[in-house]
Amino acid sequence: MKSYTDEQILKGILRHDNLILQYIYKQYYYKVNHFIKKNSGSEDDANDVFQEAIIVIYRKIKENDLVFEASSFQGYLFSVCRFLWLKQLEKMRIEKEKINDTMPYQEDLYDENLVELVNKNEKYGLYQKHFKSLSTDCQKLLQLFFEKVPLKEIAQIMGYKGEKYTKKRKFKCKEILISRIKQDTEFKKILEDGT
């Protein structure tokens, strides 16, 4: 298998390059999987954490906020995975002392930006979960609204009578979405973590 430099890996992540993403998975996933399984996790947990770590790294690259001077991409990836899994374990109320941790990680990784980015991912995940539970009609309507399509145009696209009904329908869909999010136990946990 061809190997890549850290710079090639970062550029590949940014471009969503399948070869690079497959390389990352084949090279590094087994260690993350081993760490998570050793610490009260499952194969699914390992997959989720690994994917979320790639998303976190992608966003940090995109925001030009990714710096790992002394370590390699591998060390940084493991640090992000470790951080995400420890955060997940905290949520599950497992004591940190019981964690069997021999995975290499970057000490200075735990900056506020990473914590903020992980929290954004959680909030977005919660939003997506409930957005997908809306009717197709509501999803389409809200998507058009979020894309800043004018109400008159939305009414035409959706086949509604007029702008007034479109506005009323948008309000109702948004209200349902907000209500579902607020009733979710994850929402309460996110609020608690944020304070």
| Per-residue model confidence as pLDDT tens digits over 78-121 | 888 988 888 888 777 644 445 555 555 444 444 555 556 566 66
Classify the C-alpha dihedral 116-120-125-130 as positive or negative: positive
Q: How distant is the alpha carbon of residue 176 from its chain centre? A: 23
Distance CA 56, CA 52 (A): 6
- pTM value? 0.52
Using CA atoms, how far apart are residues 25 and 4, in angstroms rounded to an integer? Answer: 13
User: Distance between CA atoms of 119 and 117, rounded to whole angstroms?
Assistant: 5
Q: How far is CA 165 from CA 124, 155, 161, 168, 175, in A?
A: 28, 8, 7, 5, 15
- Phi/psi of residue 84, nearest 5 degrees: -65, -40
Token readout for 57 is 């790294």
**Each residue of 156-190: pLDDT tens digit?**
888 988 889 988 998 898 889 888 888 887 777 76
Query: Kind and range of the H or E element at 194?
Result: helix 185-194
Decide if 102 contacts 41 (C-beta within 8 A).
Answer: no
Question: Domains in the chain, start-ordered, CATH in brackets?
Answer: 6-109 (1.10.1740), 123-194 (1.10.10)
Write down the pLDDT at residue 97. 45
pLDDT tens string 2-48: 888 888 998 999 898 999 999 999 999 999 999 999 888 899 999 99
